[in-house]
Amino acid sequence: MKPKKLAKKLANWEERIVWQHKKLAKLKRKLPRKVVEDYTFQSPDGPVKLSALFGKQKELIVVHNMGAACPYCTMWADGFNGIYPHLADRAAFVVVSPDAPAAQKKFAEGRGWRFPMVSGRKSDFSESLGFKEGKDDWWPGVSTFQLSYGKIQHVASAPFGPFDPFCGVWHFIALLGKGVNNWQPKYRYAATASKKPARKVKRAVKPKVKQKRKVTRKAQPKPAAKPKPAPKPQRAPRRAARVAPRALPVAAVPSNTAPSPVNIPAAPVVSVQ
């Protein structure tokens, strides 16, 4: 086949596929709507009814996920994470899986998912809609519901699988030179793994208590005894003032008797040469 003729044929096929998807969805919406019961699910906040999942919306999209054990369902859910704000603007959106609520929360936080999840392990919801067989044989897919006059109506359903219109990964890979080439989805990829430094766990720092330092005082020598002040020189005793000897009283002598002379020693004679 010539290239021009082949290119024209491919373009026709692509238009036909797009048209078939639209027609398929239209035919599903024309199916008789079945009223379903208000199933009960488990969430981190406790039991929650199917009617409560609508929130303020009148329509609801429920994704049937096989849980954290399935890398395929994990890849599908990774894709929903990006388009969730767009879907939530049109209708309520929730993912149901058989995992326990605690396991769902831990796995969702690890993947960075922001859409709501509930556990359907203890419910007949997935089985009644054809997405579970037996005890633990779960199947992936999507179901839509409409809330009308207080009753929940099942509108349509679709299964999930490679090359379905709900996951674009397969369509991108199929256009490569070798196509899919036995590729399978994984939880982590070496090409996109971010090398983050190990986070150091900060330990609680105890407040430092200022301890009083024990000041070891050296034994200081006792101060030398202050020298006693020299005794003040004693003043020489004052000499008694010379008092002229009082004249001894002279015994009365008769006037006719002369007094005897007093013997006065003569002064020594010094010769001067």
CATH of the domain at 113: 3.40.30.10
99 vs 96: CA distance, rounded Å:
9
Contact 143, 112 (CB under 8 A): no
CA distance 218 to 138: 85
Q: How many CB atoms lie within 10 A of CB 77?
A: 24
- Give the pLDDT confidence score for residue 1 in this predicted structure: 82
* Position 230 confidence tier, pLDDT thresholds 50, 70, 90: low
In a domain, 245, yes or no: no
Q: Is 52 exposed, middle or buried (0-12, 13-18, 19+ CB in 10 A)?
A: middle
CA angle 227, 233, 235 (to 5 degrees): 160
Q: Is residue 53 in a domain?
A: yes
Residue 163 lies in a domain: yes
Query: What region, left, alpha or beta, does residue 109 occupy, with left being phi > 0 and alpha being psi -120 to 50 degrees?
Result: alpha
Length of the chain in terms of residues written: 273
Q: Does residue 24 belong to any structural domain of this protein?
A: no
Checking if the pLDDT of 80 tops 90, the result is yes
Place of tokens 């015994």: 251
> Tens of pLDDT along 1-56?
888 889 988 999 999 999 999 999 999 999 999 999 999 999 999 999 999 999 99
Looking at residue 112, its pLDDT comes to 97
Q: Is residue 110 part of a domain?
A: yes
Average pLDDT score, the chain: 83
What mean pLDDT comes out for the span 149-175?
96
**Stretch 178-198: mean pLDDT:** 85
Beta bridge mates, 148: 151
Does any domain span residue 226? no
The Cα–Cα gap between 69 and 66 comes to: 7
Domain assignment present for residue 10? The answer is no
| Whether residue 256 has pLDDT greater than 80 | no
From CA 138, how far away is CA 98, in angstroms rounded?
8
**What secondary structure letter does DSSP report for 26?**
H
Per the structure, the count of domains in the chain is 1
- Which pTM value belongs to this model? 0.69
Which range marks the domain in which residue 81 is found? 32-174
Q: Is residue 102 part of a domain?
A: yes
Token pair in block for residue 128: 């009644």
